[in-house]
């Protein structure tokens, strides 16, 4: 048999689908670090190009000889599935098997460490899991800070002990009670923050296991690494990268109820006139606003509820 008579398999031109699929996977990895929209776009691109790629692999191309190629399209015989031969089926199977095994190996090697590295940053610390009743709002004089120490979950014991700095701001212009409720953990490395001012131990109250101590706090400081915050919790000096975290709060039957912790980038204004942007609870040392936030796998801004 001469070279002209040998059967030749006509393969399609090089496909761009694998390149598009690879770009989609790259977008997914970038989205895991930067933002959820980029993650969604990457997933859509990967699915579309992956589908087109797999579809091309399943499309079988006829095997023709030089004699068949010389025939005119009008007189060329129809090619049936039996005419394709076993070589095409074997090649398709090997291609799909190689891609499948490679994909499984890649997923097994990358997904576990990627999940451990990225997911905790999106899930947050989970510091607050229980609402805490701090008693009547009359326990909190207007425009004064009170140190509230309590067990978040009495069944868990001392490991759930928390400290909050609470200030009654009076009422807003709409007549709504306003409170500043600052979490006592430094947003540098999580050390306990102390109020900079005298504590009135004589006026200390303890009701239902909750200790309340008035304090004249002009600012807050971290004794571990020198972090300093003003009276609104804004960073003033030192290594912290954002303002102190805060608690959600509500008023129920005249009592002050502390809710979950949320992160704050910066506080504009004071007291009842303060304006803040809430972010899901972020780890210490992580930026939640500004240009730096794009370098961290941080929660998206918005309500924590």
Domain ranges of the chain: 3-123, 132-295
CATH second-level architecture of 132-295? 3-layer Sandwich (2.102)
Average pLDDT, the chain: 76
State in Å, rounded, how far the first CA of the chain is from the last one.
Answer: 77
What's residue 215's pLDDT? 92
Q: Which residue has the tokens 């804004």?
A: 234
Least confident of 46-60, 195-209, 251-265: 46-60
Question: How many Å is the Cα radius of gyration of the chain?
Answer: 32
Q: Are strands 8-9 and 228-230 parallel, antiparallel or unpaired?
A: unpaired
The beta strand positions in 121-233, using DSSP E, are 132-136, 145-151, 161-171, 177-183, 194-196, 205-207, 210-215, 219-221, 228-230
Of residues 121 and 176, more confidence is placed in 176
Please give the average per-residue pLDDT across 61-84, as a whole number: 51
Q: For Cα atoms 170, 207, 161, give the angle at the middle one, nearest 5 degrees.
A: 90
What's residue 122's pLDDT? 53
Q: Which residue has the tokens 């942007």?
A: 277
What's residue 287's pLDDT? 82
Report the share of the chain in percent with pLDDT over 70: 68
User: 3-state class of 129 per DSSP?
Assistant: coil
For residue 109, the 8-state DSSP code is H
Report the share of the chain in percent with pLDDT over 90: 19
pLDDT band at 164 (very low <50, low <70, confident <90, very high): very high
| Calpha distance 169→251 (Å, rounded) | 14
Confidence check: pLDDT of 165 > 60: yes
What's residue 114's pLDDT? 65
What's residue 227's pLDDT? 92
pTM of the predicted model as reported, rounded to 2 decimal places: 0.58
Q: Which residues pair with 68 in a beta bridge?
A: none
Please give the average per-residue pLDDT across 241-257, as a whole number: 91
């Amino acid at each position: 048999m001469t070279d002209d008579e040998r059967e030749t398999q006509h393969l399609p031109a090089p496909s761009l689908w694998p390149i598009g699929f690879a770009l989609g996977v790259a977008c997914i990895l970038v989205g895991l670090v930067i933002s959820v929209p980029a993650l969604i776009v990457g997933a859509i691109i990967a699915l579309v190009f992956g589908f087109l790629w797999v579809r091309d692999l399943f499309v079988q191309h006829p095997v023709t000889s030089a004699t068949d190629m010389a025939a005119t399209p009008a007189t060329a015989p129809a090619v049936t599935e039996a005419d394709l031969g076993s070589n095409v089926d074997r090649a398709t199977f090997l291609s799909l098997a190689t891609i499948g095994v490679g994909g499984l190996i890649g997923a097994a090697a990358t997904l576990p460490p990627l999940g451990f590295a990225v997911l905790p940053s999106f899930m947050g610390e989970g510091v607050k899991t229980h609402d805490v009743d701090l008693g009547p709002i009359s326990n909190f004089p207007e425009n004064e800070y009170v140190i509230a120490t309590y067990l978040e979950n009495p069944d868990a014991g001392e490991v759930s002990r928390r400290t909050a700095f609470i200030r009654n701001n009076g009422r807003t212009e709409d007549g709504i009670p306003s409170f500043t409720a600052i979490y006592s953990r430094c947003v540098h490395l999580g050390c306990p923050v102390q109020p900079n001012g005298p504590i009135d131990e004589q006026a200390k109250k303890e009701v239902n296991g909750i200790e309340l101590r008035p304090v004249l706090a002009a600012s807050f400081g971290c004794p571990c690494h020198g972090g300093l915050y003003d009276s609104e919790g804004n960073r003033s000096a030192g290594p912290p990268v954002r303002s102190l975290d805060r608690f959600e709060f509500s008023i129920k039957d005249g009592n002050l109820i502390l809710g979950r912790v949320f992160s704050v980038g910066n506080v504009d204004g004071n007291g009842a006139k303060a304006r803040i942007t809430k972010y899901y609870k972020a780890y210490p040392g992580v930026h939640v606003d500004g240009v730096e936030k794009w370098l961290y796998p941080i929660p998206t801004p918005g309500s924590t509820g």
